[in-house]
């Protein structure tokens, strides 16, 4: 697997003659977590789709490049807001789907280990219809981690989880994605402050950095600096547009 690159995004995105967001000179550092926040509808998920090279409804004017000048095609794992599990496959079969689609023989031992780490060992034979929303999201997370790509794009990956499980999955993801270039969209300032090496607030006017605490992620959510940063960030996000 190639080394994780820095990703540069320069340009703006319009849909129906409306400027959704501007990301002039947004740099996503290699081997770090960049957490993207912003108002609903500003285009956070669209930004991930653009980086992933997926279809989108509007018009992007600009460019997205990697620091090694190589294409991002085949180097990106993408976890969407919807779990996108195939309903006729079991948990285990969904987790190894990426390898099968690439014509590779999946590492079943690694898949079973990941399923255990997300707490679904006793459910690995079940199909999505038999799972709760949180269990489906953990299955999708395990599938994303299974791909082991140098770039990981995560769209609200912990939103369906209760507080305790969310903290556990944050820590697991930070460990499993260490050394990867990670971009995570979240609506939760506490989550961004806990996990982000870089925090960016996206808007029609720009992609504006928000200074995280000096401590390295994963940060202690009870530390004074962490609490103060997330409170200030929440206040900023709630301010009138």
| Tens of pLDDT, residues 108-124 | 999 999 999 999 999 99
CA distance 234 to 213: 15
For the residues 72-100, what does the mean pLDDT come to? 95
Q: Where are the domains of the chain?
A: 1-75+150-161+177-241, 83-148
How many residues comprise the chain? 241
Does the structure show a pLDDT above 60 at 240? yes
pLDDT of residue 23: 80
For the residues 184-195, what does the mean pLDDT come to? 97
For the residues 197-215, what does the mean pLDDT come to? 95
pLDDT band at 17 (very low <50, low <70, confident <90, very high): confident
Assessment of whether the complete model's pTM goes beyond 0.85 = yes
**Which residues, in sequence order, are CB contacts of 174 under 8 Å at separation 6+?**
33, 195, 217, 218
pLDDT band at 127 (very low <50, low <70, confident <90, very high): very high
**Which residues, in sequence order, are CB contacts of 164 under 8 Å at separation 6+?**
none
> Which CATH class, in words, describes the domain spanning 1-75+150-161+177-241?
alpha beta
What does DSSP say about strands 26-28 and 59-66: parallel, antiparallel, or unpaired? unpaired
> Which DSSP symbol is given to 90?
-
CA atoms within 13 A on the CB side of 18: 8
Of the candidates 144, 12, 146, the one whose C-alpha atom is nearest the C-alpha of residue 80 is 144
SS3 31: coil
């Amino acid at each position: 697997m190639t080394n994780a690159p820095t990703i540069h995004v320069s340009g703006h995105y319009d849909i129906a003659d409306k400027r959704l967001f501007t990301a002039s000179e947004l740099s996503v550092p290699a081997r770090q977590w960049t957490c993207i926040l912003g108002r609903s509808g500003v285009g956070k998920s669209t930004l991930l789709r653009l980086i992933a090279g997926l279809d989108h409804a509007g018009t992007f004017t600009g460019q997205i490049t990697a620091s090694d000048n190589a294409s991002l095609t085949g180097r990106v794992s993408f976890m969407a807001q919807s779990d996108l599990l195939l309903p006729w496959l079991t948990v285990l079969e969904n987790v190894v789907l990426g390898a099968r689609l690439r014509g590779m023989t999946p590492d079943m031992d690694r898949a079973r280990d990941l399923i255990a780490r997300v707490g679904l060992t006793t459910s690995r034979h079940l199909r999505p219809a038999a799972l709760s929303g949180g269990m489906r999201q953990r299955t999708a997370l395990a599938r994303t981690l299974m791909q082991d790509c140098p770039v990981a794009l995560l769209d609200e990956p912990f939103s369906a989880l209760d507080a305790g499980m969310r903290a556990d999955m944050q820590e697991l993801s930070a460990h499993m994605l260490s050394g990867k270039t990670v971009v995570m969209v979240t609506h939760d300032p506490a989550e961004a402050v806990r996990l982000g090496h870089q925090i960016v607030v996206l808007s029609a006017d720009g992609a504006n950095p928000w200074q995280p605490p000096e401590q390295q992620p994963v940060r202690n959510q009870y530390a004074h600096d962490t609490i103060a940063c997330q409170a200030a960030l929440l206040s900023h996000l709630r301010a009138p547009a």
